[in-house]
């Protein structure tokens, strides 16, 4: 999908939720491949809190790395998709690795800031997995390290389809925003995977006991960026 957007200018992204809800969006250069000047305001503001050597988790088309490289920063970009990593390298990302969030370890080198932009807090997948990975990141990151991560408060909706799905999640012992989805493009699809979206209160609960604290948030119309610092 990213390769198609890079080569042809656009592609259609289909997101399918386990309850049958489907959304479609035209994926073009305005998001995954956009230059910094065309980013949403809250993404541009979030870059003010990114310092030092950076780990970009869920790099996608490499837009974060490209911007930070222009600022003179060293960035390690990781993504589980070989196609995404191919796009990153074609666009000039200097250090792009096919690596999942669960595989992050000391091999990525010293890190000052972890970036999870584009709603990529969702890659934590669940409350338990988030706590486990946050503790690991705390051990890997430098003393003044921080995480800059974007997520969405799913409670801020009046859509009855979404509200019913959230109620079913709670009945199953899941957080309301722990959705199970797959992404489709043309005739291919990802495996089903969990994707976690949280309110500020749920985020603070997840951070409790991990060595991290919520320092500030940067709001937008439908998501917010959390600046998370070592406690």
For residue range 186-214, what is the model confidence (pLDDT) as tens digits?
Answer: 999 999 999 999 999 999 999 999 999 99
213 forms beta bridges with 229
In angstroms, the Cα distances linking 20 to 23, 59, 170, 180, 182 are: 10, 28, 18, 11, 11
What's the pLDDT tens digit per position in 53-89? 999 999 999 999 999 999 999 999 999 999 999 999 9
What is the average pLDDT score of the chain?
Answer: 96
Split at pLDDT 50, 70, 90, the class of 25 is confident
Phi then psi dihedrals of residue 90, to 5 deg: -60, -35
Tell whether 19 is covered by a domain.
no
Tell whether 33 is covered by a domain.
no
Half-sphere exposure of 26 (CA within 13 A, CB side): 6
Q: Region 145-158: what's the mean pLDDT?
A: 97
Q: What is the CATH classification number for the domain harbouring 123?
A: 3.40.50.150
Residue 124 pLDDT more than 80? yes
Residue 97 pLDDT more than 70? yes
> What was the pLDDT predicted at 10?
83
Q: Region 127-133: what's the mean pLDDT?
A: 98
- Beta strand 178-185 with 193-196: parallel, antiparallel or unpaired? antiparallel
| Three-class secondary structure of residue 40 per DSSP | coil
> What was the pLDDT predicted at 146?
98
Q: Region 21-35: what's the mean pLDDT?
A: 82
In the chain, the number of structural domains is 1
Domain with 45 in it? 40-177+191-230
Sign of the dihedral through C-alpha 151, 154, 156, 158: positive
Tell whether 205 is covered by a domain.
yes
Check: pTM over 0.75? Answer yes or no: yes
Tell whether 29 is covered by a domain.
no
Tell whether 3 is covered by a domain.
no
Residue 164 pLDDT more than 60? yes
Tell whether 207 is covered by a domain.
yes
Residue 29 pLDDT more than 60? no
> What was the pLDDT predicted at 28?
61
Tell whether 167 is covered by a domain.
yes
> What was the pLDDT predicted at 30?
61
Cα gap 42→59, rounded to integer Å: 18
Tell whether 62 is covered by a domain.
yes
Sign of the dihedral through C-alpha 6, 9, 12, 13: positive
Q: What is the 3 state secondary structure string of 98-128?
A: ECCHHHCCHHHCCEEEEEECCCHHHHHCCHH
185 forms beta bridges with 188
Q: Region 141-148: what's the mean pLDDT?
A: 96
- Beta strand 111-116 with 188-189: parallel, antiparallel or unpaired? unpaired
């Amino acid at each position: 999908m990213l390769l198609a957007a890079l080569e042809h200018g656009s592609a259609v992204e289909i997101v399918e939720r386990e309850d049958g809800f489907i959304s479609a969006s035209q994926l073009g250069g305005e998001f995954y491949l956009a230059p910094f000047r065309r980013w949403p305001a809250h993404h541009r503001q979030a870059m003010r809190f990114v310092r030092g050597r950076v780990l970009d988790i869920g790099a996608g088309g490499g837009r974060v790395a490209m911007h930070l490289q222009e600022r003179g920063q060293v960035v390690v970009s990781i993504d589980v998709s070989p196609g995404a990593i191919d796009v990153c390298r074609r666009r000039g990302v200097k250090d792009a690795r096919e690596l999942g969030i669960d595989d992050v370890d000391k091999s990525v080198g010293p890190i000052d800031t972890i970036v999870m932009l584009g709603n990529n807090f969702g890659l934590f997948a669940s409350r338990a997995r988030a706590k486990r990975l946050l503790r690991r990141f705390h051990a890997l990151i430098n003393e003044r390290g921080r995480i800059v991560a974007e997520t969405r408060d799913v409670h801020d909706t009046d859509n009855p389809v979404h509200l019913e799905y959230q109620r079913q999640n709670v009945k199953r012992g899941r957080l309301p925003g722990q959705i199970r989805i797959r992404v489709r493009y043309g005739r291919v699809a990802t495996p089903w995977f969990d994707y976690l979206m949280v309110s500020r209160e749920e985020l603070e609960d997840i951070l409790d006991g991990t060595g991290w604290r919520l320092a500030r948030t940067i709001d937008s119309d439908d998501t917010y960026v959390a600046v998370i610092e070592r406690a």
